[in-house]
Amino acid sequence: MKKRKHLFQSLVLISALALALTGCSSSSSETNTGAQDTKKSVELLNVSYDPTRELYEEFNKDFIKKWKDETGQDVTIKQSHGGSGKQGRAVIDGLEADVVTLALAYDIDEIAQARGLLNKDWQTEFENNSTPYTSTIVFLVRKGNPKGIKNWDDLTKDDVSVITPNPKTSGGARWNYLAAWAYAEKLYKNDEAKIKEFMKALYSNVEVLDSGARGATTTFVERNIGDVLIAWENEAYLSLHELGDEFDIITPSLSILAEPPVAIVDKIVDKKGTREVAEAYLKHLYSDSGQEIAAKNYYRPRNEKILAKYQEQFPKLELVSIDDFGGWAEAQAKHFKDGGTFDEIYVPQ
Amino acid sequence: MEQSTFIQQVAPEKNNTVTKSAALQEPRFVRYTLIFIALAFLAFFIVLPLVSIFTTAFQKGVDVYVAAITHPDALAAIKLTLTVVAVAVPLNAIFGVMAAWALTKFNFKGKNLLLTIVDLPFAVSPVIAGVVFILLFGSQGLFGDWLFEHDIKIVFALPGIVLATVFVTLPFVARELIPLMQTQGTSEEEASISLGANGFKTFWHVTLPNIKWGLLYGLILCNARAIGEFGAVSVVSGHIRGMTNTMPLHIEILYNEYQFAAAFAVASLMSVIAIITLIVKDIIAWKSKSV
């Protein structure tokens, strides 16, 4: 009698296993048929960086509706977010993105270079360097600005604790770094030794070096660490909007024009047959409603009229651009490659 | 850990005889201080966080809670997690039984090496486990070109997540069974064989009933880890919402989107699963003792 019971239990185990295996194979065949049936509906994967979550959530809804109205086709858009460098890496490693909307051109260049998934001159495909919206780098401080932070040099003071992500993994962090560098460059009239000293003083004040911009914001906003967060303007506004009256935004005298570009991943869209909808998707970012959504999510729109409408939100300041650093390839080689200036000035605590 | 549970099963009888001896009794205040410290420690590190998970989850009301766990992305995450468990746990059962059987009932060269390799996933960081699969199956990896040509997705899709989970949970069943089967020895099997049963029959009617409870116990630990695994899965997931986010990854996303109530709602669901798992584990531990 007892033996029978044991037998029964073993059988249960085996049947559970069989069930699991068949369940697995049937679900995979389901996804296969879904992919082939492109006429009925189509799916895009947008691999993006950290702070664009809210922007694309709103934008995707708008585009889905527009595409349905114009073509009658249903489109679903899948999103993936993370540090820009990390996301670029994932696409290189096989994450099949139809479009990439990353924090800086360099990360898309890397994808083009590593696997030839897209043309090297991808940045000429859409207007304005394929950058439908821009942003800049500002400071988020605690309410009332208790440390009296006004400009970049205040961040080098001994009693100030700074939060910024790691430029090796985060696109936003690289803009932060270059903005600070540009300020020091102007202050010390290109004296590189002094600039490095300035950067060293600033980064020795960094308390937590997160891997992505959103992680850094969480550290500052949620975990209450640090006196100042160096952040995307849009990210700073979002924190203000989401979490109310605990913070102030400080715009420094000089910052950098951050251009987060967009691109179609040619080889993937050709393989999946999604080029047409992917192109329409990115073009829609330049349309009036796309620009309006960008502005509403605190990105500076390219469209002058819409920018003027939101001018209160976007104070004018002196902006250097990545071209002042000789473009991303040069900036990356000089500052962020192994043994670059960041490795020189940053000493982990 | 496996050994300690084994000791636990033997320990109670011993304790009963020991505590009666007054010479070995600690002064009352020492005992109470120790108990108090242990309880305070547990309260601070386990009960308090657990309570805060549930209070935060319901902070914005039951509506927000229900909306959070019935959101399509959340449901997709739950479904994905369960699918991963449904594949990883049976695979581990098969492997674990085979490995433990080979390691305890037979003598062969390289036995110790195999024992060490079985333990490897415990020693290696989960992140490395994830990166290894990227190196193998990523498009720049060993099999990358071939996989791309044949349109087979491993990493950043379900197979990769399953692989990473299997890797991380590999030792659970084997590690649970090895000490058990070692103490049981081979005499029953020898008897069975000498009475004319073949290898399979012996395994089915002698070995399997003997290790039943240990096996279930190992499976439950394996199950808990498979549900909760974050590091390795995070590396191979690609973080596509509604597709390749498991429950722990979904919680991280919600948290980073300032949706704290929703994040903790999903977290509370996972805590409930964990608590149920522990209860089932205790029942099994108790049953296995009484059998």
Q: What is the ipTM of this complex?
A: 0.71
Distance CA B258, CA A235 (A): 12
| Cβ-defined contact of B140 to A93 (cutoff 8 Å) | yes
Tens of pLDDT along A136-158? 999 999 999 999 999 999 999 99
Per CB-CB distance under 8 Å, the chain A contacts of B89 are: 20
On the 0-12 / 13-18 / 19+ scale of CB atoms within 10 A, B85 is: buried
- A174 near B CB under 8 A: no
CB pairs under 8 A between A and B: 90
Per-residue pLDDT at B227: 93
Per-residue pLDDT at B255: 86
**Residue B87: beta bridge partners?**
none
| Cβ-defined contact of A93 to B139 (cutoff 8 Å) | yes
Chain B: give the shortest CA distance to residue A169, in Å. 14
More confident residue, A338 or A39: A338
| Cβ-defined contact of B208 to A27 (cutoff 8 Å) | no
More confident residue, A348 or A162: A162
Those residues whose C-beta lies under 8 Å from the C-beta of residue A37, and which sit 6 or more positions away, are: none
Q: Could you give the 3-state DSSP secondary structure of residue A227?
A: coil
Residue A13 has its nearest CB partner, among B93, B140, B209, at B93
Q: Are B175 and B118 in contact (CB under 8 A)?
A: yes
Per CB-CB distance under 8 Å, the chain A contacts of B255 are: 218
Per-residue pLDDT at B198: 86
Per CB-CB distance under 8 Å, the chain B contacts of A95 are: 155-156, 238, 240
Interface probe, candidates A13, A46, A91, A223, chain B, greatest B C-beta count within 10 A: A13
- Global pTM reads 0.76
A10: pLDDT strictly greater than 90: no
Per-residue pLDDT at B277: 85
Q: Kindly list the averaged pLDDT for each block of 10 residues, start to end, along chain B of length 291.
A: 44 48 74 92 91 90 91 94 94 91 85 88 90 89 84 90 93 91 87 86 86 88 92 91 92 86 93 88 78 57
Chain B residue with CA closest to A47: the answer is: B240
Name the residue among B48, B8, B86 with its Cα closest to residue B282: B8
A214: pLDDT strictly greater than 80: yes
More confident residue, B289 or A101: A101
Per CB-CB distance under 8 Å, the chain A contacts of B161 are: none
Residue A93 has its nearest CB partner, among B134, B151, B158, at B134
Per-residue pLDDT at A3: 46
Per-residue pLDDT at A120: 87
Cα–Cα distances (Å) from A279 to A183, B116, B239, B273, in that order, read 38, 53, 23, 44
Cα–Cα distances (Å) from B154 to A244, B238, B245, in that order, read 43, 11, 15
Interface probe, candidates B210, B241, B254, B259, chain A, greatest A C-beta count within 10 A: B241
Residue A115 has its nearest CB partner, among B139, B158, B209, at B139
Tens of pLDDT along A19-70? 555 444 444 433 443 444 445 789 999 999 988 988 999 999 999 999 999 9
Name the residue among B239, B247, B227 with its Cα closest to residue B76: B247
- B63 near A CB under 8 A: no
More confident residue, A295 or B189: A295
Q: Are B100 and B173 in contact (CB under 8 A)?
A: yes
More confident residue, B150 or A349: B150
- B239 near A CB under 8 A: yes
A8: pLDDT strictly greater than 80: no
Per-residue pLDDT at A18: 52
| Cβ-defined contact of A94 to B208 (cutoff 8 Å) | no
Per-residue pLDDT at B107: 83
Interface probe, candidates A80, A170, A238, A271, chain B, greatest B C-beta count within 10 A: A80
A180: pLDDT strictly greater than 70: yes
Q: Are A188 and A195 in contact (CB under 8 A)?
A: yes
Per-residue pLDDT at A31: 41
Residue B205 has its nearest CB partner, among A3, A16, A20, at A3
- A80 near B CB under 8 A: yes
Name the residue among A253, A249, A252 with its Cα closest to residue A239: A249
Give exposure, A248-284, as e/b (b: 16+ Cβ within 10 Å).
Answer: ebbbbebbbbbbbbbbbbbebbeebebeebbebbbeb
- A95 near B CB under 8 A: yes
| Cβ-defined contact of B153 to A218 (cutoff 8 Å) | no
Distance CA B23, CA A46 (A): 72
Per-residue pLDDT at A23: 46
- A78 near B CB under 8 A: yes
- A272 near B CB under 8 A: no
Per-residue pLDDT at B22: 60
Assigned token pair, B221? 């630990």
Q: Containing H/E element for A145?
A: none
Chain B: give the shortest CA distance to residue A303, in Å. 28
Per CB-CB distance under 8 Å, the chain B contacts of A82 are: 239
Q: Containing H/E element for A251?
A: none
- B144 near A CB under 8 A: yes
Name the residue among B218, B188, B219, B217 with its Cα closest to residue B204: B188
Per CB-CB distance under 8 Å, the chain B contacts of A237 are: none
- A13 near B CB under 8 A: yes
Secondary structure, 3-state, chain B: CHHHHHHHHHHHHHHHHHHCCHHHCCCHHHHHHHHHHHHHHHHHHHHHHHHHHHHHHCCCCHHHHHHHHHCHHHHHHHHHHHHHHHHHHHHHHHHHHHHHHHHHHCCCCCHHHHHHHHHHHHHCCHHHHHHHHHHHHCCCCCCHHHHHHCCCCCCCCHHHHHHHHHHHHCHHHHHHHHHHHHHHCCHHHHHHHHCCCCHHHHHHHHHHHHHHHHHHHHHHHHHHHHHHCCHHHHHHHCCECCCCCCHHHHHHHHHHCCCHHHHHHHHHHHHHHHHHHHHHHHHHHHHHHHC
Per-residue pLDDT at A36: 41
Rounded to an integer, the average pLDDT of A80-96 is 90
Q: Are B238 and B156 in contact (CB under 8 A)?
A: yes
Assigned token pair, B133? 């699969």
Beta strands A206-208 and A162-163 are: parallel
Kindly report the backbone phi and psi dihedral angles of residue A162, in degrees, each rounded to the nearest multiple of 5, phi listed first: -110, 140
Name the residue among B201, B183, B182 with its Cα closest to residue B193: B201
Kindly report the backbone phi and psi dihedral angles of residue A300, in degrees, each rounded to the nearest multiple of 5, phi listed first: -75, 115
Name the residue among A316, A331, A126, A291 with its Cα closest to residue A233: A316
Per-residue pLDDT at A24: 45
DSSP A3-30: HHHHHHHHHHHHHHHHHHHHHHHHHHHH
Rounded to an integer, the average pLDDT of A281-292 is 96
Q: Counting every residue, how long is chain B?
A: 291
- B79 near A CB under 8 A: no
Q: Are A217 and A138 in contact (CB under 8 A)?
A: no
Distance CA A149, CA B61 (A): 39
